[in-house]
Amino acid sequence: MFRILFICSGNSGRSSMAAAAAREIAPKNTEIICAGDKKCQIHPLALQVMREASLSIGEKVEHSLDEVTSQPYDIVVTLCNQISEVCPVFSGSPATIHWGLEDPAKISDTTERQLEQFRFVRDEIIRRVDGLFKHGFFQTIMQVKLTFGSLLDNLTNGVLAHDMDRRVFFFNRAAQKITGYDYSEVIGKDCHKVFPGRFCGGDCSFCVEKVQELPRIRYPQVFVRRDGERRDLEMSAVTLNTPTNEVIGALVIFRDITDLIHMRRKLQASRGLHGIVGQHISMQKIFDALEELAEVNAPILIQGESGTGKEMAAIALHQLSSRASGPFVPVNCGALPEGTLESELFGHVKGAFTGAIRDKKGRFELAEGGAIFLDEIGEISPAMQIRLLRVLQDKSFTPVGGEKTIKVDVRIICATNRDLKLLTQQGLFREDLYYRLAVVPLIMPPLRQRKSDIPLLVDHFLEKFSNDTGKTVKYVTPEAMNLLMNYPWPGNIRELSNAIQYGMIKCRGSSLNAEHLPPEISGHQDALSVNKPGRKPALNDELVKDALKRVGGNKARAAKLLGVSRTTLYRYLEKTL
């Protein structure tokens, strides 16, 4: 069944005339509908001229425009002289034909002159309807529409199109599936008002007063579905142009890449997450916690020894959150004196103290819409603890020397290598502030508890420092790796990073040997005890796994790389299986 709609404004009955003529000659599987201004009374002369042509129309328009705009049509024919007189938006993007015909009811001349104009419009309508159905135009339009509509509806990508007023006129099946919105909820409505946070994310040519042809190709956008589920989309937004390059709307093509991003994250998690490298179970738990906490709207306290990667965890939290496009502002609280820290955090006004020659924004204000990272939070004074507590409670502060209270929307992430709970018991840290900060604690494990990650971290640092040192060191010898695996790493990952950089600077070849490592590592007694002269290198699970991985599982080559006989390696593997 094909559906054709004729519409017009006024009471001259042009749409009714066209519908009556079409019903006489349209194919049997075609439904003809006409609509106008709220079922208005049709002009008597329209009824008269149609009877003269042996065609009848009702005294009122069959349907109002409000009744028909939500229905799907294959062809819509507008009959007003100016298309802007009647321009509703219809679902399914029907083929639109415009017959610009003057309104004969507006002729203010004699009745005879008006009757003559009604006859002219009637004859013109009958001629055009006849041409529509008898000269192949209808079949051609339907063939193109069916092919085009079927193509768009069967795409796996979502397609949305809207006019210059942002009224959506096309929304295919995939778009409905991806967004959870039915086309009846979207068609004819302003896309800014239908979708929360704007479908485009508020960054397209139609979000400004003057529309410009500024295409955005394949950009990411987080979208909230009709059911509230967050999905990651990849979008392309371009303007729709006429052959004369006039902008008439916008076309948005998008696809759901949530599962793809999830797979990428899982792949990254096999090595690390947002620059944090690790495969150990303790690090996998950290990665899971970071993803779970990404959107938690509460202060996060990251604890751990110096060099365990607390700031990297804070950056990962920020990058995983919806605030990722906002600023990330780090502050080392332990490196600044109290007076300087207060000004750094909250800013100051001109004349607040000697040297305050102008107003200065604080880090909290600079972090608006993003996150502030307060490192070494355990070092701040009791007075600063009170001020920080007020910021946490009220989300506002007053600059040093100022009177105006500034409200901020900032996520607070703190870090410390000290035991804050112990400090509270000793009276050195406010208990109320501690419980405010430690709503969601995150504890970074020391490197000595995740030594199986050392080979992975070593490879990471070899690659990272190759550009800095201008050298390509392909691997670390078993003797050097043995030293690295048995060293206690009081400085954790930061110390390991420095050790590899030191070794690459001293290294002259493609392999980093034991003698290239810093003296505190190469001279460590625990490490030396397993590799005394005349003794074969001691084996452990991490060394063996790393060697087998490097040689693709070839045990003979792995034994050679480890500096032991094949029999020794086979015996070790048998014992550990």
pTM exceeds 0.75, yes or no: no
Q: What is the pLDDT of residue 529?
A: 47
Q: What are the pLDDT digits (tens) for 6-21?
A: 998 888 899 999 999 9
- How distant is the alpha carbon of residue 447 from its chain centre? 33
Give the separation between CA 179 and CA 228, rounded to whole angstroms: 10
Beta strands, E only, 444-503: 475-476
Give the separation between CA 554 and CA 534, rounded to whole angstroms: 26
Q: What are the pLDDT digits (tens) for 29-79?
A: 889 999 988 878 899 999 999 999 999 898 888 888 878 877 778 888 988
CB 372 within 8 A of CB 364: yes
Q: What are the pLDDT digits (tens) for 496-529?
A: 999 999 999 888 888 899 889 998 888 774 444 4
Tokens of residue 558, six digits: 């792995």
CB 519 within 8 A of CB 559: no
Could you tell me which CATH class the domain 449-576 is placed in? mainly alpha
Min mean pLDDT across 51-60, 115-124, 161-170, 510-519 is at: 161-170
Q: What is the pLDDT of residue 223?
A: 84
CB 503 within 8 A of CB 519: no
User: What ranges do the domains of the chain cover?
Assistant: 2-145, 156-256, 275-445, 449-576
Tokens of residue 117, six digits: 């104009």
User: What is the CATH number that goes with domain 156-256?
Assistant: 3.30.450.20
User: Could you tell me the CATH superfamily of domain 2-145?
Assistant: Response regulator (3.40.50.2300)
At 494, is the pLDDT very low, low, confident or very high (cuts 50, 70, 90)?
very high
Q: What is the pLDDT of residue 296?
A: 84
Which phi-psi region, left, alpha or beta, contains residue 323 (left: φ > 0; alpha: ψ -120 to 50)? alpha
- How distant is the alpha carbon of residue 101 from its chain centre? 48
Give the separation between CA 378 and CA 459, rounded to whole angstroms: 34
CB 284 within 8 A of CB 291: no
Q: Shortest CA distance to 340 belongs to which of 367, 364, 362?
A: 362
Q: What is the pLDDT of residue 275?
A: 80
What Å distances lie between residue 322 and 121, 291, 302, 337, 517, CA to CA?
59, 12, 20, 33, 42
Terminal Cα-to-Cα distance of the chain (whole angstroms): 71
pLDDT exceeds 50 at position 533: no
Q: Could you tell me whether strands 276-277 and 272-273 are parallel, antiparallel, or unpaired per DSSP bridges?
A: antiparallel
pLDDT exceeds 70 at position 305: yes
Min mean pLDDT across 96-110, 366-380, 499-513 is at: 96-110
Average pLDDT over residues 146-160: 78
Could you tell me which CATH class the domain 275-445 is placed in? alpha beta
Of the ranges 94-98, 108-112, 414-418, the best mean pLDDT one: 414-418
Check for a shared fold between 2-145 and 275-445. yes
pLDDT exceeds 80 at position 81: no
